[in-house]
Amino acid sequence: MGGTGEHVAFQQIPLFPDPGYRRLHAAPPDAEPECPPEAQAPAAPPAARDRQAGAWPPAQPGGDGEDPGRPRLDGLRTVMINWRDPWQEAAGGAEEYAWRISRHLAARGAVVTFLTSREPGQARVETREGIVIRRMGGKFTVYPLVMLWLLLWRREFHAALDCMNGVPFFSRLVLPRRTRVVSVVHHVHDLQFDAYFSRPLAWLGRFIESAVASRVYRNCPTVTVSESSRRAMREKLRWRAPITVIHNGSPPRQPVAPDRFLSEAETGSPAIVSLGRLVVQKRVSRIVDIARDLRGTYPQLRVHVVGRGPESATLAEQIERGGLHDHVRLHGFLPEAQKNAVLAGSLLHVTASEFEGWGLTVIEAAGLGVPTVAYDVDGLRDSVRHGETGWLVREGEELSDVVAAALRELSDPVRAARIRRACREWAAGFTWDRSGTAMARLITGEPPEPAAPGTPGPAGPNGRGERSDTARATRIRLRGAAPAGGGPPTRPAKAAR
95, 475 contact by CB (below 8 A): no
- Distance from C-alpha of 154 to C-alpha of 482, rounded to nearest angstrom: 21
* 214/229 Cα distance (integer angstroms): 15
Chain center to CA of 73 = 20
Decide: 221 and 183 in contact? Cβ < 8 Å.
yes
Fold adopted by 264-428: Rossmann fold (3.40.50)
Q: Does domain 19-33+51-61+69-249+431-473 have CATH number 3.30.110.30?
A: no
10-residue stretch averages of pLDDT, the chain, 497 residues long: 37 40 41 36 34 30 47 92 91 92 96 96 95 94 96 95 94 95 91 80 88 93 94 92 93 63 62 92 94 94 93 95 94 91 94 89 94 95 95 95 96 96 94 94 79 46 42 39 34 38
Q: What is the pLDDT of residue 195?
A: 73
Same fold, 19-33+51-61+69-249+431-473 and 264-428: yes
Q: In whole angstroms, give the CA distance from residue 233 to residue 237.
A: 5
Give the pLDDT confidence score for residue 453 in this predicted structure: 43
- Its pTM stands at 0.75
The domain segmentation of the chain, as residue ranges, is 19-33+51-61+69-249+431-473, 264-428
pLDDT at 342: 93
Q: How far apart are CA 294 and CA 271, in angstroms?
A: 12
β-partners of residue 92 are none
Sequence letter at residue 116: T
Alpha-carbon Rg for the chain in angstroms: 24
What confidence score (pLDDT) does residue 43 get? Answer: 39
Alpha-carbon 92 to chain mean position = 9
d(CA 63, CA 341): 42
* Beta strands 372-375 and 390-393, pairing class: parallel
Concatenating the DSSP letter of every residue in 130-149 gives TEEEEE-S-TTTHHHHHHHH
Three-state secondary-structure class, residue 317: helix
